[in-house]
Amino acid sequence: MPKYENKCPVHNELDLYNHCSFDCIYCISQTKDLNINFNLNEEISRIRTLKSDSNPFYLSPWTDCYHDEEKQNGYTQQILSELSGRNIPFFVITKSPLVLRDIDLFKNKDNAFIAISLNSLNNDLTEQLEPGAPSATERKNLIEELVKMKDVKTVIKIDPVIPGITDNGELNLLTDWLCKINPTAVTVETLRISTKILTNMEKHLPANIITSMMQHYPELSETPIHPYIDYRLKILKETAAKFEKAGIKASFCKASLPERINEFDCRGGYDYDF
């Protein structure tokens, strides 16, 4: 289900798991009752009916497709093997070095890419925000390894930028480093928050940090919302200018902004518009 109905790029969204062991305290899946009826054999049979010009497969919108359970089940590996073997477009967004296990499935493919999610280089901060996920250092090392592979498309997903937490100095350190290593593309987005997500974050973060963060948001409801548009545009435009100067493609949401930041596909790993 796209974030914004009839406004987002069209792809086949495929979730394989009903939970995620990474336990990110800001995760938007808290707003959804995850009851994913995934059947491996049925999905493989469906993929075998598709042609190479089908819509891209996105693994996976609500859970990390390389979280701990994947080590035992291998669902992601089996699905990607089918997609890659049939030259069907696909991409994954993950925080896990386990993606290296399947690296051969991404090599020499213009229609596939790996997106690594990282919003800070600070280990203490990522441990606080994403207690079950690989550390910032582990992901930094993973990204450096992937970027050296010139036959693999590597996108860095700076998402979410959290007001008062992963913006300002934290964001500058991260973007400066990315400008040096030159990935395929970078995508940048701010935290969408709801009353339920806020309640969970309040359990893990000091009250003064929460107060600072919430100064950037309108009144919350059950529906997740972005920060005030002025704050959001400032963050996105500044990072866009920085990456443009470094010669790196930066990608941003088109559906939820009053103006387009640039012309690139918001997913980062594809060159075509939509």
For tokens 């974030």, name the residue. 3
**How far is 126 from 145, CA to CA, in rounded Å?**
20
Mean per-residue pLDDT over the chain, rounded: 93
Quote the domain boundaries for residue 93: 12-251
Predicted pLDDT at 274? 37
Predicted pLDDT at 8? 77
In a domain, 33, yes or no: yes
Q: What is the DSSP string of 237-274?
A: HHHHHHHHHHT-EEE--STTSSS-S-SS-TTSS--S--
In a domain, 39, yes or no: yes
76: its two tokens: 């992601």
Predicted pLDDT at 6? 63
**How far is 57 from 69, CA to CA, in rounded Å?**
20
Predicted pLDDT at 263? 86
**How far is 194 from 237, CA to CA, in rounded Å?**
25
Q: What is the DSSP string of 139-150?
A: HHHHHHHHHH-T
Q: With a cut of 70, list the residues of the chain below it in pLDDT.
A: 1-7, 272-274
In a domain, 242, yes or no: yes
Q: What is the DSSP string of the chain?
A: --SSTTTSPP-EE----S--TT--TT-GGGGS-------HHHHHHHHTT--TTSPPEEE-SSS-TTSTTHHHH-HHHHHHHHHHHTT--EEEEES-GGGGGGGGGTTT-TTEEEEEE-S-S-HHHHHHHSTTSPPHHHHHHHHHHHHH-TTS-EEEEEEEE-TTTTSHHHHHHHHHHHHHH--SEEEEEEPPB-HHHHHHHHTTS-HHHHHHHHTTS----SS-BPSPHHHHHHHHHHHHHHHHHHT-EEE--STTSSS-S-SS-TTSS--S--
Indicate yes or no: pTM above 0.85.
yes
Angle between helices 168-181 and 136-148 (to 10 degrees): 20
For tokens 């009353």, name the residue. 195
In a domain, 229, yes or no: yes
The sign of the dihedral angle between the CA atoms of 191, 192, 198, 200 is negative
In a domain, 267, yes or no: no
Q: What is the number of domains present in the chain?
A: 1
In a domain, 264, yes or no: no
Predicted pLDDT at 26? 97
In a domain, 265, yes or no: no
Amino acid residing at 94: T
CATH number at 31 reads: 3.20.20.70
In a domain, 6, yes or no: no
30: its two tokens: 């808290």
Predicted pLDDT at 118? 98
